[in-house]
């Protein structure tokens, strides 16, 4: 009996080992492989990055707006790494997950030397945020269902088209859309709490976050400088709220509205004690609409953003009282700012079957923008007219694959007649995607 069992075992073993492995061994190897793949799938790594060269056919002298007649027919060139970002995420299971983004902006730290246009061309060291690099996102999320998720930590504020869709593969220009990138923080990220979800054709997000800091508002970029913090902490004497709603009812079309509301004047380390500042809130209100259409070889995107700041004249006066070594801008700030723009691109490979099969796209595009960081000012505020302008651009986007794009564009900044227009040619390469380990 023993011999018969041994023979059966030997025969089956021999049959299963003709390629040097048993069926049990194959099954174990397959199980181990699936287990490893399952563990790996919980961890995600990705990112995006941009490298750019621009030739600007206008002067970069700090007096170019004060004496435009003296700075005609000048040009300068620049290389830049606008954004390089590393994304890390992990799914802990049971609805718990985390995400993070570390951003290297302009290829270095978040401090820079700038020439101040309204202070005699002095060199000033500008600190945009504390630290050597920017932690753009770090959050923990609990997902109960697709319609209800809670996120806590540092995250993007979803106001405006560019903040919600800021990857370089999500806009045609070599740089991010100039209007939104001027009057609002971009990418705007704050520490707070977010509730979001999607049901049917609707997606929503509501966010509680600290208010902006009015001491870093200014003329050229309105409230943009009030995000983040130059300190090792974020002042949160005043809280704010933001929201975004997206609709996908029409195939290929996304319609979105977003907004922000919050007080800002109390978010400063230097407290206002004078009676003239009693009751000043510095309330910022922003309303935005944007859309994205992708179909029939066409891509069209557009945005309209309007923002209002209360007590702008008092904030301007108060910010002027800061010492020279403070992070305050000490420049006038407007009551209202506006940005509107639209871009349209057509895929020339849309009818090339071989190119489509390889995932390639080749867009020719055009863009128009109007924006003004001093759209409406109080009587006591100097309105710098050079900050209200139109911009047109046209160019090419070549996608050899979905995650990589090569860009080229010609742009023209159209200023009021007493200033010189600002033409430029820019070239860039960018990527955005997630990588398998």
396's tokens: 């090419």
Q: What is the pTM of this model?
A: 0.85
Q: 183: exposed, middle or buried (C-beta count within 10 Å: 0-12, 13-18, 19+)?
A: buried
Over 80: is that where the pLDDT of 25 sits?
Answer: no
Report how far residue 265's alpha carbon sits from residue 32's, in angstroms, rounded to the nearest whole number: 59
* Phi, psi (deg, nearest 5) at residue 34: -65, -35
Give pLDDT tens digits for 342-384: 999 999 999 998 998 899 999 999 999 999 999 999 998 989 9
Q: How confident is the model at residue 3 (pLDDT cuts 50, 70, 90)?
A: very low
| Residue 229: pLDDT band with limits 50, 70, 90 | confident
Which domains does the chain carry? 45-53+78-347+364-382+431-435 (2.40.160)
Give me the percent of the chain exceeding a pLDDT of 70. 84
Predicted local distance difference test score (pLDDT) of residue 60: 92
The β-bridge partners of 149 are 143, 196
DSSP string, 136-147: EEEEEEEEEETT
Measured distance CA(329)–CA(337) in Å, rounded: 17
Contact 412, 419 (CB under 8 A): no
For residue 302, what pLDDT is reported? 98
pLDDT at 8: 37
Task: Give the model confidence (pLDDT) of 312-335 as tens digits.
Answer: 999 999 999 888 888 888 899 999
218 Cα distance to chain centroid: 20
- What tokens does 295 get? 């179909």
| pLDDT at position 114 | 60
Question: b or e along 234-244 (b: 16 or more beta carbons within 10 Å of the residue's beta carbon)?
Answer: bbbebebebbb
Query: What is the average per-residue pLDDT within 109-131?
Result: 57
Query: What is the spatial distance between Cα 227 and Cα 221, in angstroms, rounded to a whole number?
Result: 12
The Cα 33–Cα 29 span in angstroms is: 6
Neighbours of 191 (CB within 10 A): 17
């Amino acid at each position: 009996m023993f011999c018969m069992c041994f023979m059966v075992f030997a025969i089956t073993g021999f049959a299963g080992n003709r390629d040097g492995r048993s069926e049990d061994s194959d099954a174990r190897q397959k199980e181990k492989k699936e287990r490893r793949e399952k563990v790996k799938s919980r961890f995600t790594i990705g990112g995006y990055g941009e490298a750019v060269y621009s030739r600007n056919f206008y002067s970069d002298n700090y007096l170019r707006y004060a004496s435009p007649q003296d700075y005609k027919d000048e040009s300068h060139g620049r290389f830049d790494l606008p954004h390089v970002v590393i994304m890390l995420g992990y799914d802990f299971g049971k609805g718990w997950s985390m995400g993070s983004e570390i951003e290297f902006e302009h290829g270095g730290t978040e401090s820079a030397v700038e020439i101040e246009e309204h202070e005699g061309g002095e060199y000033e060291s500008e600190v945009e945020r504390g630290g050597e690099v920017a932690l753009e996102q770090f959050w923990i999320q609990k997902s109960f269902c697709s319609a209800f998720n809670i996120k806590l930590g540092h995250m993007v504020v979803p106001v405006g088209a560019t903040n919600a869709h800021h990857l370089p593969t999500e806009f045609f220009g070599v740089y991010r859309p100039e209007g939104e990138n001027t009057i609002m923080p971009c990418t705007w990220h704050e520490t707070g709490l977010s509730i979001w979800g999607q049901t049917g054709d609707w997606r929503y997000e509501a966010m509680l976050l600290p208010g902006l800091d009015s001491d870093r508002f200014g003329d050229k970029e309105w409230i943009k400088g009030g995000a983040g913090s130059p300190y090792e902490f974020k002042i949160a004497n005043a809280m704010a709220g933001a929201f975004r709603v997206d609709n996908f009812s029409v195939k290929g079309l996304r319609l979105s509205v977003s907004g922000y509301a919050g007080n800002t004047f109390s978010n400063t380390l230097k407290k206002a004690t004078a009676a003239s500042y009693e009751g000043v809130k510095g309330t910022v209100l922003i309303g935005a609409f944007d859309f994205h259409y992708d179909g029939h070889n066409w891509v069209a995107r557009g945005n309209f953003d309007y923002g209002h700041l209360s007590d702008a004249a008092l904030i301007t006066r108060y910010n002027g009282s800061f010492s020279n070594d403070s992070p305050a801008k000490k420049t006038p700030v407007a009551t209202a700012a506006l940005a509107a723009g639209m871009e349209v691109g057509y895929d020339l490979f849309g009818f090339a079957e071989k190119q489509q099969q390889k995932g390639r796209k080749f867009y020719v595009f055009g863009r128009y923008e109007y924006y003004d960081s001093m759209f409406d000012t109080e009587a006591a505020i100097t309105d710098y007219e050079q900050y209200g302008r139109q911009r047109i651009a046209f160019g090419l986007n070549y996608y050899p694959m979905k995650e990589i794009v090569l860009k080229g564009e010609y742009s023209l900044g159209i200023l009021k007649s007493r200033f010189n227009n600002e033409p430029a040619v820019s070239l860039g390469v960018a990527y955005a995607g997630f990588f398998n380990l």
